[in-house]
Amino acid sequence: GTIITTLDDISVVKLAFAVPETFLSSLQPGLDIEAISRTYPGTVFKGKVSSVDSRVDPVTRSVDIRAIISNEAGRLRPGMLMIVDMVNNHRKSLIIPEQALMPDGIKKFVYVVNGEDIAERREVIIGTRRPGFVEISSGLSEGDLVVTEGTMLLRPGASVRIMTNGDAENSAPAIVEDQSRQG
C-alpha cells in the first residue's frame, strides 16, 4: 500500500487565478488568456478560460477563474507561479499620462492647448488605469494636445509655449491605444 511514484500528464495544465468582481460581466468560458512565468522570460503561454466560479469571495471581492493551457513542450509544471493577462474587449481608447490628470473634488480635468496656444481646462471622465497612464472615456478627442508638465501652475486662458523636438515631453498629444488586456 505504499505509493512509489506519481505520474502527471502535463501536456495540458490547468491554471487557477482570481479576478476582481468588477470584471465579472465580461468573464465567460472561452475567453483568451496569456500567461507568463519568470522561469521562461519572454515566453507567452496562451490558453482559454474553462470556467468562472459562481460565487464572489466576500473578503477579496474576486471571482475564481480556471483556464486550460496547452503544454506540449512540457515546460510548465504544476504549482508554478504565473502572471495572467485576459484578452477582452478589443476597443480603441484615448490614453494620457497620469500626471496630466488634475482632481477637482470628485471631478477630473486636464489642460488642453487650443489652436491659439491658449490653455483650456477640460473636464474628463476616466476609465481604466495602468501604471503611469489613464484611459479617458469622455472629454478628449484623438490628437488633442494635453499639457503634462506644470499643470499645477497653469490657469485657464494662460498662453502656452509648445515645446518641440527634444522638449516634447512637456506636452503630449492624446493617443489611441488598443485596450485589450485585463489583469
Domains identified in the chain, total number: 2
Q: Which residues form the domain of 77?
A: 12-86
Does a structural domain hold residue 28? yes
Specify whether the backbone of 42 is left (phi greater than 0), alpha (psi in -120 to 50) or beta. left
Q: What is the CATH number of the domain that holds 104?
A: 2.40.420.20
Q: Which amino acid is at 135?
A: E
The gap from C-alpha 154 to its chain's centroid, in whole angstroms, comes to 29
Same domain, 75 and 123: no
For residues 86 and 2, what is the distance between their CA atoms, to the nearest angstrom?
Answer: 42
Cell readout for 40 is 521562461
Same domain, 174 and 107: yes
Q: How far apart are the first and last CA of the chain?
A: 45
Helix-strand-coil split of the chain, %, nearest 5:
10, 50, 45
Does a structural domain hold residue 2? no
Same domain, 111 and 132: yes
Q: What is the pLDDT of residues 7-45, one digit of tens each?
A: 888 899 999 999 988 888 888 899 999 999 999 988 999
Same domain, 98 and 122: yes
* Strand ranges, E, within the chain: 12-20, 32-36, 45-56, 62-70, 83-87, 92-97, 102-104, 107-113, 119-130, 133-138, 145-147, 171-173, 175-178, 181-182
For residues 153 and 84, what is the distance between their CA atoms, to the nearest angstrom?
Answer: 41
- Look up the pTM and report it: 0.48
Q: What is the pLDDT of residues 88-144, one digit of tens each?
A: 655 677 889 899 999 888 999 999 999 888 899 999 998 888 778 888 888 998 888
Q: What is the CATH number of the domain that holds 62?
A: 2.40.30.170
Please determine, for residue 148, whether its predicted confidence score (pLDDT) is greater than 80.
yes
Does a structural domain hold residue 4? no
For residues 128 and 181, what is the distance between their CA atoms, to the nearest angstrom?
Answer: 10
